[in-house]
Amino acid sequence: MNIYDNLGLFEKRLRKARGYSLENIAHNIGISKSLLSDAENGKRILKPEIFSKFLKYYEIKFTFNELSADLAHSFLNHFIQAWIDRDFADEKKITKELESNRSVLQNSLGCLYLLLIDIFLSVHLYNQIPDIQVIEYLLEIENYLPFFSPDEQALIYFLKGFDAMKKKKHLESLKQYKKALKVLDGEQWPELEGIIKFNSAHVLQATVSFFQAYQAVQEARSIFVKYNNHARILLCDNNSASYLISMQEFKAAKDCIQNIIRCQHRWFHDERIYTNTTTLMILVLTLEGQFEQAIRYIHTHPFPIENGYIGNLSLIPYCHYRLGEYDKCLKTIDTLSVERPAEDDQALFDILISILNKNSDEIEEAKLRMMDICKKQTNWCMLMVLFQLMIAYYESENETELLIDAYRQQARVLHHQLPVLQS
């Protein structure tokens, strides 16, 4: 690509950054509004002499050479590859170098690459900026799509999809992920396809099908295997285990978790993956009804609680309850409550406390509250735990009608249908 064929896009970026109108610029530099509009949209070429006239008229200091574009492009390539490889040290190093060159790049032919890097940093929360700014970034960069390579365009659509996914706008997220897969060619970042499919699986799990999610993450895994990306392979295995649990394929899920543990010993230790696999094993043992084993597992595989995140440790009080260890149940709830239990965790604690207090009204209120929370989160696994608990409780209390409803709701969840609240 000849970067000078896209000067209209650079003019547009500079114009928008300064709040100038297209009409005024066209008038002041003596060209037609339609020509400038076409140049800004990549349909016509803006001649260098006209671009220079624009810079001179508005007294804009601009580095007019390809070295700045090459530098910004190098930052983009290296940063995205470090992210793909989960090389956090390299990410920090590149980010630091980028900031030291920002003042040069933002008024140069590297400004569009800088915009894409800033969007990536914002969407992935490396930069803490207001959500409205992220939205404006994502809308603005669409103006410059013709400038970017197929893989860079795919990255843009992926970031739009990822931002929508964070906001639980699942249909929009899938739409953007599909656009990303359609435009990429894999020449620049061949593993980007795997990351898009990996994240698509998360949305499919929430809204469509556990099996389709499992298939998507397996497709992603095959890509990472091809490039020996062990960190991404382990993330795929971690999510595969989660989807297998949702499909009640407990043995396969445990095999997957054990494989992750073996691979971590062989290649490297990732604290986040270790924590996730530990909490997944607690979940699968709990859903299997192996409550003693679940408690024993957390004692043999402890992990630090960071920033109040307790993960599936919230299931340990439940396991104590199912074993008839009511004092241990309450004591563990007290211990975990000083951390920062998530909404669904706290709702589970409330149900257990209400059951032990033998307050039937509070039990039903807490149950409905947890159902509502898990529905909003599309938290299928905690819904499975909820109905496992309620079935056991209703059976012990001979609550026939409520027991039948709990079985009905459980069946809905196991068939990827959210439960319905009783009217």
Domain count, the chain: 3
pLDDT digits (tens, 9 = 90+) for 229-245: 988 999 999 999 999 99
Taking the C-alpha atoms of residue 187 and residue 207, their distance in angstroms, rounded to an integer, is: 32
pLDDT digits (tens, 9 = 90+) for 394-406: 999 999 999 999 9
Task: Look at residues 244, 269, 299 and tell me which one is the last residue of a structural domain.
Answer: 299
Q: Are residues 218 and 275 in the same domain?
A: yes
Q: Are residues 163 and 312 in the same domain?
A: no
Task: Look at residues 31, 62, 93 and tell me which one is the last residue of a structural domain.
Answer: 62
Q: Are residues 159 and 181 in the same domain?
A: yes
Q: What is the mean pLDDT of residues 148-175?
A: 95
pLDDT digits (tens, 9 = 90+) for 19-57: 888 998 998 888 999 999 988 888 888 888 898 899 888
Q: Are residues 122 and 245 in the same domain?
A: yes
Residue written as token pair 């599936």: 312
CATH number of the domain enclosing 27: 1.10.260.40
Terminal-residue alpha carbon distance, the chain:
62
pLDDT of residue 236: 95
Q: Are residues 181 and 71 in the same domain?
A: yes
Q: Are residues 74 and 99 in the same domain?
A: yes
Q: What is the mean pLDDT of residues 212-234?
A: 95
Taking the C-alpha atoms of residue 257 and residue 281, their distance in angstroms, rounded to an integer, is: 7
The verdict on residue 421 lying in a domain is no
Task: Look at residues 299, 333, 356 and tell me which one is the last residue of a structural domain.
Answer: 299
Q: Are residues 394 and 285 in the same domain?
A: no
pLDDT digits (tens, 9 = 90+) for 357-410: 999 999 999 999 999 999 998 899 999 999 999 999 999 999 999 999 999 999
The verdict on residue 329 lying in a domain is yes
Q: Are residues 309 and 293 in the same domain?
A: no
Q: Are residues 313 and 409 in the same domain?
A: yes
* Structural domain of 405: 304-414
Q: 423 falls in which pLDDT band (50, 70, 90)?
A: very low
Q: Are residues 245 and 311 in the same domain?
A: no
Q: Are residues 110 and 133 in the same domain?
A: yes
The verdict on residue 422 lying in a domain is no
Q: What is the mean pLDDT of residues 322-346?
A: 94
Q: Are residues 14 and 90 in the same domain?
A: no
The verdict on residue 419 lying in a domain is no
CATH number of the domain enclosing 173: 1.25.40.10
